[in-house]
């Protein structure tokens, strides 16, 4: 058997670097002034702006933002199209309801007993109303 080595040295905790977050440092690092210090309009039109380090590193994020903007615009267009379609259908429904009310009024006017009697007299059809009540006999 081998003797076990005994380590009597005290354990030293490894010092972890503490990362301190400060908004001030972040804004200094990514401020618009620092990003485009030497910006000129000719750089924009020549395409030199696209070769900037920040733009190259954030190209995926910029592409994602662009795609989201397209999705939002198309969603807004789709919703406005649906709203106009709903308004058109609502107007058509109101027109059909008005027509239905008009037709039921005409139907009740035509089917009144006095109107039927006048129509029959106008066509010289002799039908009279019976004054006796009708009885049903059930066996």
Per residue in 85-103, pLDDT (tens digit) is 999 999 999 999 999 999 9
Supply the pLDDT for residue 102: 96
Question: Do residues 35 and 54 make contact, with C-beta atoms less than 8 angstroms apart?
Answer: yes
Predicted confidence (pLDDT) at residue 22 exceeds the cutoff of 90: no
How far is residue 48 from each of residues 34, 39, 61, 64, measured CA to CA in Å? 16, 10, 19, 22
| Structural contact between residues 55 and 49, judged by C-beta atoms closer than 8 angstroms | yes
d(Cα 21, Cα 28) in Å, to the nearest integer?
13
Local confidence band at 138 (pLDDT 50, 70, 90 cut-offs): confident
Q: Tokens in use for 23?
A: 């908004």
In this predicted structure, what is the pLDDT of residue 38?
66
Per-residue pLDDT for 2 more than 90? no
Report pLDDT digits (tens) over 31-51.
666 666 666 777 777 877 667
| pLDDT for residue 125 | 84
pLDDT band at 62 (very low <50, low <70, confident <90, very high): confident
| DSSP sequence for 19-52 | PPP-HHHHHHHT-HHHHTTT--HHHHHHTGGGGS
Could you identify the residue written with the tokens 């401020």? 31
Tell which wins on pLDDT, 3 or 122. Answer: 122
Contacts of residue 35, Cβ cutoff 8 Å, sequence gap at least 6: 52, 54
- Spatial contact of 115 and 109, defined as CB atoms under 8 Å apart: yes
b (16+ CB within 10 A) / e for 25-39:
eeeeeeeeeeeeeee
In whole angstroms, give the CA distance from residue 43 to residue 51: 10
């Amino acid at each position: 058997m081998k003797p076990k080595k005994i380590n009597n040295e005290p354990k030293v905790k490894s010092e972890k670097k503490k990362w301190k977050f400060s908004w001030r440092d972040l804004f200094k690092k990514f401020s618009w002034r620092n990003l485009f210090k030497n910006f000129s309009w000719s750089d924009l039109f020549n395409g030199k702006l696209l070769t900037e380090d920040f733009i190259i590193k954030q190209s995926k994020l910029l592409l994602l933002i662009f795609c989201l903007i397209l999705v939002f615009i198309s969603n807004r267009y789709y919703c406005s199209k649906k709203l106009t379609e709903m308004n058109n259908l609502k107007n058509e429904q109101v027109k059909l309801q008005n027509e239905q009310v008009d037709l039921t009024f005409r139907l009740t006017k035509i089917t009144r007993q006095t109107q039927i009697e006048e129509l029959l007299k106008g066509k010289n059809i002799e039908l009279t109303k019976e004054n006796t009540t009708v009885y049903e006999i059930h066996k």
